Structure 1
Amino acid sequence: MPRPDEITVPTETGPGRLLVSPAVSPSAVLWLGHGAGGGADSRDLVALAAELPRHGVTVVRHEQPWVVAGRRIAPRPAALDAGWLAAEPAVAQLACSAPLVVGGRSAGARVACRTAAAVGAAGVLCLAFPLHPPGRPERSRVDELLTPQVPVLVVQGTRDPFGSADEVRAAADGARMLDVSPVEGADHGLKLARSATLGQDEALALVAAEALRFLRAAAARK
């Protein structure tokens, strides 16, 4: 993958960073946030940044200020939302007239759902949405998942302890604009069980293919 362009984003809590993998003539822009346990180098975010620009999608991976500063513990949701929203003008400039789809993995997906309306997103791509803390299904975050008033795609492992693909589908209860794409044998970090029928590269290719399908649909709606 070519080295991405880097854009520093000033925020009230220090600089954030955008890692931009540009398409030549983008039909859409995908803005992705990372999880609470790591940065923009998670395997699924990297796979999307490597693959989607070849298909006309510019991928923007957003590193929150706490990651840029080298801290290990993510701040509260309100601070995550503020760090994300501070980057919106820069992302909007990158998108220009192309449709903007937001998303991310885990905590980044939660941020994208909460702020989709504020940034004018055409869709939301959730990778490993943390439906509930492990072992605590009663503490559901399904309200966040159902917040966007635009189409949502959830790409979820079938053995994710934060909520399996089946759990997400059941919690959404047939929501009209929400689709769930399962990754067989994958956990929260998209690591596959030894018994999984897919290989790791195949699983990442599936994630990229599902994301591309969703993005093309979003671009067509615009």
Structure 2
Amino acid sequence: MVQTVDTDAGTARITWHRAEAVEKKARLVLAAGHGAGGGIEAPDLRALAAELPAHGVTVALVEQPWRVAGKKLAPAPKTLDAGWRGLWPALAAPGLPVVAGGRSAGARVACRTAGELGAHAVLALSFPLHPPGRPERSRAAELLGTGVPTLVVQGGNDPFGRPGEFPEGAYGLVEVPYGDHGFAVPKRAPVGREQALTVLTDGVLKWVSSLG
């Protein structure tokens, strides 16, 4: 189901992937936003939407207003946050705890707003710890300041921050071996793309299953 939502930043869109009710009743909503360079067609977001509903997790893939409007460049962080805030009542409408998540820029939005919106937890996919080649420009404060259970899923070769660069903190970290910022792996790697995505989905499933 596709739902449009008016926000202060413009019209946003949510694509719902409902938890399957046959075996397990839905117990969580995972709201996942896209990055600054792409949309909800990203392979990691699609993999989560395909896998998690069978395990009692409804996945809501969120398209920010700038993306819905067909613009190619993401706006300033404060505008991204405004769009996310405007979407939140629709994400919370099912009456279930909401895990705020996203990839790259979407992960930063989820981290920055988790506390004020009452997110149950945060899932940060490909968190851009720093611009490529600029480790001194760390964004670790956003990640460390969520105030809720947080999981980072990071490619082993992500130029925006490899797993070993992340500071110690109250969050979990799953490494996708050889993965880049989009979790793609080199052809010469001993794991393929599907295996890499399985590491991602298995790690997220284990984590969400542990959330109270």
**TM tier, smaller:** over 0.9
Determine which of 115, 119, 144 is the counterpart of 1:146.
Answer: 144
Determine which of 204, 207, 211 is the counterpart of 2:200.
Answer: 207
Determine which of 180, 186, 198 is the counterpart of 1:193.
Answer: 186
Q: Secondary structure at the match of 1:39?
A: coil
Deviation, structure 1 residue 33: 0.7
Deviation, structure 1 residue 41: 0.8
Is 1:102 matched up with 2:95?
Answer: no
Deviation, structure 1 residue 199: 1.2
What CA distance in whole angstroms lies between the structure 2 residues aligned with 1:12 and 1:125?
24
Task: Kindly provide the amino acid, as one letter, of the partner of residue 164 in structure 1.
Answer: R
What CA distance in whole angstroms lies between the structure 2 residues aligned with 1:92 and 1:107?
21
Deviation, structure 1 residue 57: 0.5
Identity %: 50
Determine which of 1, 4, 9 is the counterpart of 2:5.
Answer: 9
- Give yes or no for contact 1:33–1:103 (8 Å, CA) kept in 2: yes
| Equivalent residue runs for 1:168-179 within 5 Å | 168=166, 171=167, 173=168, 175=169, 177-179=170-172
Equivalent pairs counted in the alignment come to: 208
Unaligned runs of 5+ in 2: none
Q: Secondary structure at the match of 1:71?
A: coil
What CA distance in whole angstroms lies between the structure 2 residues aligned with 1:18 and 1:138?
35
Q: Show the counterpart of 1:159.
A: 157
What CA distance in whole angstroms lies between the structure 1 residues aligned with 2:40 and 2:179?
19
Q: Show the counterpart of 1:137.
A: 135
Deviation, structure 1 residue 48: 0.4
| More deviation, 193-202/126-135 | 193-202
Determine which of 3, 14, 17 is the counterpart of 1:18.
Answer: 14
What CA distance in whole angstroms lies between the structure 2 residues aligned with 1:196 and 1:180?
21
What CA distance in whole angstroms lies between the structure 2 residues aligned with 1:106 and 1:130?
5
Measured against aligned partners, the alpha-carbon deviations of 1:34-74 in whole angstroms (never above 9, x if no partner) come to 00001111000011001100111000010000000000000
- Give yes or no for contact 1:185–1:192 (8 Å, CA) kept in 2: yes
Q: TM-score, normalised by structure 2?
A: 0.95
Deviation, structure 1 residue 99: 2.1
Deviation, structure 1 residue 188: 0.3
Task: Kindly provide the amino acid, as one letter, of the partner of residue 202 in structure 1.
Answer: Q
- Give yes or no for contact 1:131–1:163 (8 Å, CA) kept in 2: yes
What CA distance in whole angstroms lies between the structure 2 residues aligned with 1:200 and 1:46?
13
What CA distance in whole angstroms lies between the structure 1 residues aligned with 2:89 and 2:27?
19
- Give yes or no for contact 2:151–2:172 (8 Å, CA) kept in 1: yes
| More deviation, 38-47/197-206 | 197-206
Q: Secondary structure at the match of 2:93?
A: helix
Deviation, structure 1 residue 105: 0.3
- Give yes or no for contact 1:109–1:127 (8 Å, CA) kept in 2: yes
- Structure 1 stretches of 4+ with a deviation exceeding 3 A read none
Deviation, structure 1 residue 11: 1.4
Deviation, structure 1 residue 118: 1.8
Determine which of 166, 174, 177 is the counterpart of 1:181.
Answer: 174
What CA distance in whole angstroms lies between the structure 1 residues aligned with 2:207 and 2:118?
17
